[in-house]
Amino acid sequence: MRESIVCLEKAAKAFAAPEGHSVTALGAIDLSVRRNEFLTLLGPSGCGKTTLLQAISGFVELDSGRILIDGDDMTERPPYRRPVNTVFQNYALFPHMSVAENTGYALEVAGVAKAERAKRVAEALHLVGLEGLERRMPRQLSGGQQQRVALARAIIARPKLLLLDEPLSALDKNLRQAMQIELKTLQHELGISFIFVTHDQQEALTMSDRVAVLSGGRIQQIDTPRAVYDRPKSSFVATFVGASNLFAGHADGVQFVTDDGIAISHALPGSTGPATALIRPEQFFLAGPGEGFPSLDVDLEQIVFVGSVFEIFGRTPTGRRVIAEIPAARRSLIGEIEQSRRARLAYDPSAVHLIPAEAA
């Protein structure tokens, strides 16, 4: 059995802009999606993630390159002949059909017998937790219930691959977070690959086996959520995936000196040459006088309480802005620096990540 369910080979697509020039949506992308994998396409608006999803489903025709699904070349095959289903952002439910009718519509069109259709509708609705709501109309459902109907309709045909184009964006925060876990659980139970599109970094990190970060129609990095967050390969990935403090400078052994003369310790002794040092805000902690941790001294600009953490905004003596996140449990220390308007932000050298200059 092939390890990959989807392979894109040099997939390229450009669109004509109203001004007369062309805009690259996909720049000769190579991508392999593993079986039973939850892969998220993450990036800002216009980066190419939805175009990539639509190319896999067949709704966008490539200018060049190939798309293989389970080893079969799908490049010229129309959408209805691809073993793929899509869940859209607006769910696209038929308003005049009940939950059961919406769910089983594809089977009805395919001529599946009524008894078999009813059985598979019941199985699909059980999987998404909608038993007992078979007769309700879409207008009688909450946003989360409508999303579940769209999922049931997508999985009932037993596709080899499920594509999800920002299906949670219309939900409120609490429901969205609950659905993230449910989607991941459902993907595990179905045993099929999901390709999920989002611009929400936390969503991507929460749900994915791997994350592909896109920018300008190209994949900037594809890796596990932890690797993308802890070891970004470029400054773009570092700034797009989570908050970051980036320091351009030069590495020499275990010492790194920024362009404005700040010394930063790290635990990568083989690193030399121009680079950018990354320290995430949550990797800072407040150190007292005499404690032997490497640190940055900052003058406070603002302290913001956001529930679980205090966000500290400050500037170094050279004017460089630094962001730190201190757990709310350390609120006694927060009171001290509020009075002095200065803070010593300590860090562990092993938490510092260096991005080579050519990648940064």
The CATH number that applies at residue 220 is: 3.40.50.300
C-alpha 345/C-alpha 323 separation (Å) is 10
311 forms bridges with which residues in the sheet? 304, 325
| pLDDT tens digits for range 49-97 | 999 999 999 999 999 999 999 999 999 999 989 999 988 877 788 999 9
| 135, 228: one domain | yes
Identify the weakest region by mean pLDDT among 111-115, 175-179, 233-237. 175-179
Rounded to two decimals, what is the model's pTM? 0.88
Do 22 and 110 fall into the same domain?
A: yes
Residues 43 and 94 in one domain: yes
Q: Is the pLDDT of residue 100 over 90?
A: yes
Together in a domain, 69 and 210:
yes
Question: What is the secondary structure of 95-138 as a DSSP string?
Answer: TTS-HHHHHHHHHHHTT--HHHHHHHHHHHHHHTT-TT-TT--G
Mean pLDDT computed over 165-184? 82
**Enclosing domain of residue 66:** 4-236
* Alpha helix (H) residue ranges in 45-98: 49-57
Q: Residue 164's beta-bridge partner residues?
A: 87, 196
Looking at residue 228, its amino acid is: V
Residues 249 and 214 in one domain: no
Q: Are residues 216 and 276 in the same domain?
A: no
Q: Residue 337 and residue 233: Cα distance in Å, rounded?
A: 34
Helices marked H in the chain = 49-57, 99-109, 114-127, 143-155, 173-190, 201-207, 225-230, 235-240, 331-340
**Alpha-carbon gap, residue 284 to 295, rounded angstroms:** 8
Torsion of CA 38, 42, 45, 50, to 10 degrees: -30
Strand partners for 273: 251
Q: What three-state secondary structure class fits 327?
A: strand
Q: Which comes out higher in pLDDT, residue 57 or 252? A: 57
Co-location of 80 and 16 in the same domain: yes
Q: Which two tokens stand for residue 4?
A: 């990959």
- 214 plus 350 within the same structural domain: no
CA angle 201–199–236, rounded 5-degree value: 70
Average pLDDT, the chain: 90
The total domain count for the chain is 2
C-alpha–C-alpha distance, residues 193 and 159, integer Å? 9
CA angle 229, 235, 241 (to 5 degrees): 35
Domain identity same for 145 and 287: no
Q: pLDDT (tens digit, 9 = 90+) per residue, 116-171?
A: 999 999 988 888 888 889 999 999 998 888 888 988 898 888 889 999 998 887 77
Q: Which of 213, 185, 214, 208 is nearest to 196 (CA)?
A: 208
Among 236, 264, 296, identify where a domain stops: 236
**Which of 204, 236, 268 is the endpoint of a domain?**
236
Q: Which residue among 205, 236, 267 closes a domain? A: 236
Pick from 253, 254, 264: nearest CA to 297 = 264
Residues 17 and 70 in one domain: yes
Whether 254 and 229 map to the same domain: the answer is no
Closest CA to 72 of 7, 25, 125, 151: 7
Whether 124 and 147 share a structural domain: yes
